[in-house]
Amino acid sequence: MEVQTFPTEIVFFDLETTVPNKVGQYFHILEFGAIIVCPRKLEELESFTTLIQPKDLSVVSIRSSRSDGITRAKVTNAPSFEDVAEKIYGLLNGRIWAGHNIRRFDCIRIKEAFAEIGKAAPEPSGIIDSLGLLSDKFGKRAGNMKMASLAAYFGLGVQKHRSLDDVRMNLEVLKHCATVLFLESTLPNQLEGKWQSSSKIMTRSRSNYQIAQRAMPYSKGSLGKVS
C-alpha cells in the first residue's frame, strides 16, 4: 500500500463488532466509520462508513436488541474487511487518530484485522483517546464517562451504536467539554464546581423535561455537521 501521511489532520473513527460470549471467541468487525476533521476549525472534511461481512456469518446475531442495530441480514451482502482494507488504510495511516476508548479497543481491533489478511496495519501520527482525556480533564461530572452518558449530560441525544453516528457524536461531546473547560479556566473561582451542582437542570429527564429541553445544533434524529 502507498504510504501517505497527514500529520495535521484528525480522523475520528469507530468500530462496531460482535461481542464474544465464550472463551476463545474473537471480536469480529461489523462496521467501520470515520470522519476526517480539520483541527483548526473542527470541520468535517470527509466521511466514510461501511458494513463489513465477517468470514463466519454465524457469529452475527439474527436479531438486534436495538432498533437500528446490525443484524446478520444487514451484513450478508456487505464487503469483507479485505475488500475495504485499502480504503481504511488510506483514511487512517499517518493521521492523528481520535475516538472514545480507542487505545484499549478500536486500535487493537484494527491491527488484528489487518494481521488476519496479511497486510501491514496503518500507523497513527498521534492518538487522542477521549475517554482518557476527558476522565482526566473533565472529571466524573457526567457519570461513568461512557459516550452515552456524556451525550446525555449535554443533551446531544441517544447514542445509536452505529459507527458514523457515534464518531460525529464523539466530536460534538469534545466540543461541549472543551467549551466548559475554557469557561472554567477563564473564571476558575466563580465557575469551577458550579457546573456539577447545576447538572440536573442542564440535562433532560422526564421530571424536568419542560425546563431542560433546548434547541439542538442539528436536526432531530441526525448527528450530521453543526450548522
SS3 176: helix
Question: Is the C-alpha dihedral spanning 96, 99, 176, 192 positive or negative?
Answer: negative
Strand runs labelled E in the chain: 10-17, 29-38, 43-51, 96-99, 126-129
Q: For helices 81-92 and 107-116, what crossing angle results, to 10°?
A: 130
**Catalytic residue chosen out of the listed positions 28, 100, 161, 176:** 161
What torsion do the CA atoms of 36, 40, 41, 43 make, to the nearest 10 degrees? -10
C-alpha cell of residue 101: 476508548
133 membership: H or E segment, kind and range? helix 130-137
SS3 36: strand
Active site residue 161: yes
Tell me which residues are annotated as active site. 161
